[in-house]
Amino acid sequence: MARRLKTPPQPKRNLDARKATILEAVVVEHIDTAQPVGSSSVAQSADLAVSPATVRTEMVALEREGYLAQPHTSAGRVPTDLGYRYFVDHLEAGILGSAQQKQIREFFAHVRGEVEDVLEQTSILLSHLTNYTSVVVGSGHSHASVLSVQLVNLDARHHLLVTVFSDGTVTKHSVLATFEASHVEVSEASRQLNALLIGTTLESKVQVPSRHDVVAKLVREAVAVLHAEMPTLEGEQVYIGGSSRVAEVFEGVETVRKVLGILEEELLVVSLVEDILDKGISVAIGSEHGYEPLSSCAVIVAPVSLEGETIGAVGLLGPTRMKYREVMAAAEAVSQHLTRHFGGDDPRA
Amino acid sequence: MARRLKTPPQPKRNLDARKATILEAVVVEHIDTAQPVGSSSVAQSADLAVSPATVRTEMVALEREGYLAQPHTSAGRVPTDLGYRYFVDHLEAGILGSAQQKQIREFFAHVRGEVEDVLEQTSILLSHLTNYTSVVVGSGHSHASVLSVQLVNLDARHHLLVTVFSDGTVTKHSVLATFEASHVEVSEASRQLNALLIGTTLESKVQVPSRHDVVAKLVREAVAVLHAEMPTLEGEQVYIGGSSRVAEVFEGVETVRKVLGILEEELLVVSLVEDILDKGISVAIGSEHGYEPLSSCAVIVAPVSLEGETIGAVGLLGPTRMKYREVMAAAEAVSQHLTRHFGGDDPRA
DNA sequence: TGTTAGCACTCGATTTTACCGAGTGCTAAC
DNA sequence: GTTAGCACTCGGTAAAATCGAGTGCTAACA
């Protein structure tokens, strides 16, 4: 409403020291209390030896410059998205509580199982750690190469194409043929598929046989089915932890509903996270990410990489007044542990 | 509170016609309006030509017998769980709106893809259909037999055991060896594993080689890893559709949080659904299912079967004042379509 | 005996009013 | 540039007033 000014009033990216201190004090207190912050409490809390009146004049300026807003006359000030942005940009890296450090270390010392399981568990860890909803994204295998394929026949016309990729993922695809094939033909097709596909990626062009016999038809069919998955974001894995936190952390049923609705759309979540990563930022506040229904949210992301390549990300979603310092530290720590976990001892599992 | 009487006062399972009509009227109206229902509106709506005063005396009786409750003196009546129970038990099978029938038909005419995808899509369909949160459960493959196994090596010590089951599911398990194995040894192990496991189920005892060479050790390791999954509910698939509905359908943040919290625990959801199925009922109201945090919910389930065997279930979760007739009809219809879908044209995919 | 009109009564929900006080903006003095 | 002082605003809370849906009871009625 009134908070969104027509002329985003020249956000000069630097505030003089006192303004900055005041802004920070407002943000910190508002994050803590969820209430508008008045001049006097700022005058006290921040260690600038200055009267509330002075703080007030500064606040007027900060409001004019778009960092603060007033819910109504004669209320305290509330940070705008821009205000949070400044706060976050000037945040010195937070340090994680030792209890949480321990929790993370223990977690990674004990996790077992497939990548998928680890990622899912991690999402739970993150939401426990922060009390916000977490998102863990593992990239698809578009760049991974095929290690092995196998065509298994279920009955005469239904076959299952099972593919193992170099990144340890396994996919299955039904192959429904219009013709019948014998066991022998299926295993021959399987053999040919292996010869054909091993070492290729889903992006590679493959020379399929053009013959008209059953085996060749099977092979063509299988390759087609496998490659059909390519274009979309398919293969991306998304794990959401602690979606129930949404209900505690946002006020207003409507907001809760909207946020939960978004979280249901996995594709959307993936692209949200990837968009943010692409922009090279680690926090998207309010409408910065451009997803309207999430305009009252802040999203924190941290990439997980393997050999220099980004193979996933962890994210946390909360209200714009979230505990940035702690949460960013947690995201950072977990993403590093994940990176190490996959890169270090055991790349794929 | 006052609603839970100490002596569940002899719920005689049969009410005379008039009481039944009144109870039904109360339930119907309360489901519709979410408000306590007064005697006069019942007197009007139900087609018993009787004055509000009479209705009132009957209501007193119904309350004494535990079917109705009063939020406070001088408010209307609200059904108790027992009231809903009676209502549901005496519900003639609802018939689905034709728009919805069409939606279901079109859905099943067009779904493609693996079982998992179909189940996931189905959960979305169900929640769209009913505006409640849906749960689709696919059973594990403890009874399915192995169609094919394959050991793929990622590097000298890490291998991936990929297993295809007769029900079309595919699992993968990391096999971490303490020793190195060559390509040749791995494929030999793979061959032996096939010979050993094909046709067995996860419950079968398998005679593993006791030799001490690399191949034998690999085989033993692989079998161990595969069979380790057995005891738990692992392999069960759960798909939850429309969890954001929780926020619209329940009032009170606290309830929403609790319900979402439950939905996060997949194992819990599975056992909830299976418990209800085991009891042979299709609706669990309030505390009937014994999961305390869900005491303000009703859960509707319908089994999905294949060749007489229950292979899964669909469920819907809403407040006790949910639209039983419509929702039960929807659950019924979808479960039948699913049954047909898997049983009829294509058992596995 | 079951039904009903009549009626006093209850009590939550809604509205009204009053009031408090945190917080503001402004001004004049320092 | 800073600050004390001050009048003013206005949301939040509490108390009071009001409303009315719905009740339980009783006495008359069929």
Supply B101's token pair: 């029938």
Residue B297 pairs in a beta bridge with: B319
Number of other CB atoms surrounding residue B141 within 10 Å: 24
Cα distances (angstroms) measured from residue A114 to each of A245, A348, B148, B157, B349: 26, 8, 20, 15, 24
**Mean pLDDT computed over B53-82:** 96
For chain B, give every domain's residue range: 17-89, 98-139+236-343, 146-228
Closest residue to B170, CB basis, from A162, A168, A349: A162
Number of other CB atoms surrounding residue A60 within 10 Å: 14
B169 Cα to chain A: minimum distance (Å): 9
List pLDDT tens digits, range B220-275.
999 999 988 755 546 789 999 999 999 999 988 899 999 999 999 999 999 999 99
**Could you say which nucleotides of strand D lie within 7 A of any protein CB atom?**
2-5, 8-11, 20-26
Residue B116: strand, helix, or coil: helix
Only one residue has tokens 């299952």, namely: A160
Residue A104: strand, helix, or coil: helix
B319 Cα to chain A: minimum distance (Å): 16
Which residues are CB-contacts of B195 (< 8 A; sequence separation ≥ 6)? none
CATH for the A146-228 domain, from 3.30.390, 3.40.1800, 3.40.50, 2.60.40:
3.30.390
Specify the pLDDT at position A277. Answer: 94
B60 contact to strand D (CB, 7 A limit): yes
Q: Nearest CA to A59 among A132, B284, A252, A75? A: A75
B294 and B309 Cβ atoms separated by less than 8 Å: no
| B 215-244 near A (Cβ less than 8 A) | 241-244
Is the pLDDT at B113 greater than 80, yes or no? yes
pLDDT tens string, chain A, 349 residues long: the values are 333 333 344 445 678 999 999 999 999 999 999 999 999 999 998 788 899 999 999 999 999 999 999 999 989 999 999 999 999 999 988 889 999 999 999 999 999 888 899 999 999 999 999 999 999 999 877 778 999 999 999 888 899 999 999 888 899 999 989 999 999 999 999 999 999 999 998 888 889 999 999 999 999 999 999 988 755 546 789 999 999 999 999 988 899 999 999 999 999 999 999 999 999 889 999 999 999 999 999 999 999 988 888 889 999 999 999 999 999 999 999 999 999 998 765 444 3
- pLDDT over 70 percentage in chain B: 93
Only one residue has tokens 């059973």, namely: B139
Supply A296's token pair: 């009252």
Range B245-252, long-range pairs (CB < 8 A, 24+ positions): B245/B127, B245/B131, B245/B132, B245/B133, B245/B318, B246/A260, B246/B133, B246/B317, B247/A247, B247/A253, B247/A256, B247/A257, B247/A260, B248/A253, B248/A257, B248/B131, B249/B131, B249/B132, B249/B133, B249/B318, B249/B319, B249/B322, B250/B296, B250/B319
Cα distances (angstroms) measured from residue A288 to each of A276, B49, B83, B93, B290: 9, 63, 51, 51, 45
Specify the pLDDT at position A232. Answer: 54
The span from the CA of A36 to the CA of B2, in Å, is 41
A55 Cα to chain B: minimum distance (Å): 37
| B 99-158 near A (Cβ less than 8 A) | 113-114, 147-148, 150, 152, 154, 158
Question: How many CB pairs (< 8 A) connect A and B?
Answer: 117
Supply B43's token pair: 């007197």
For residue B168, the chain A residues in CB contact (below 8 A) are 154, 160, 172, 174
Q: How confident is the model at residue B314 (pLDDT cuts 50, 70, 90)?
A: very high
Chain B contact probe: residue of A141, A149, A154 with most B CBs at under 10 A: A154
Specify the pLDDT at position B228. Answer: 82
A221 and A178 Cβ atoms separated by less than 8 Å: no
Alpha helices (H) in chain A, listed in sequence order: 17-33, 39-45, 52-64, 81-89, 98-110, 115-130, 183-197, 214-228, 245-249, 253-264, 266-278, 324-343
A151 Cα to chain B: minimum distance (Å): 10
**Mean pLDDT computed over B31-56:** 93
**Mean pLDDT computed over B282-301:** 95
Specify the pLDDT at position B155. Answer: 86
Q: Nearest CA to B138 among B310, B260, B284? A: B310
B108 and A112 Cβ atoms separated by less than 8 Å: no
What b-and-e string marks burial along B282-299, b requiring 16 or more CB atoms within 10 Å of the CB?
Answer: bbbbbebbebeebbbbbb
The span from the CA of A212 to the CA of A60, in Å, is 80
Is the pLDDT at B85 greater than 60, yes or no? yes
Q: Of the given ranges (A64-73, A271-280, B139-148, B173-182), which has the lowest mean pLDDT?
A: B139-148
Specify the pLDDT at position A150. Answer: 95
Specify the pLDDT at position B15. Answer: 84
Q: What is the mean pLDDT of chain B?
A: 90
The closest nt to B77, taking CA to C1', is D22
Reported CATH class of domain B98-139+236-343? alpha beta
Q: Which amino acid is at A175?
A: V
Question: Would you say domain A17-89 falls under CATH 3.40.50.720?
Answer: no
Number of other CB atoms surrounding residue B207 within 10 Å: 7
Closest residue to B160, CB basis, from A164, A172, A263: A164
Is the pLDDT at B8 greater than 60, yes or no? no
Does any CB of chain A come closer than 8 Å to the CB of residue B160? yes
Chain B contact probe: residue of A125, A172, A226, A254 with most B CBs at under 10 A: A172
Only one residue has tokens 């290690």, namely: A147
Range A280-286, long-range pairs (CB < 8 A, 24+ positions): A282/A328, A282/A331, A283/A88, A283/A324, A283/A328, A285/A81, A285/A84, A285/A85, A285/A88, A285/A320, A286/A81, A286/A84, A286/A320
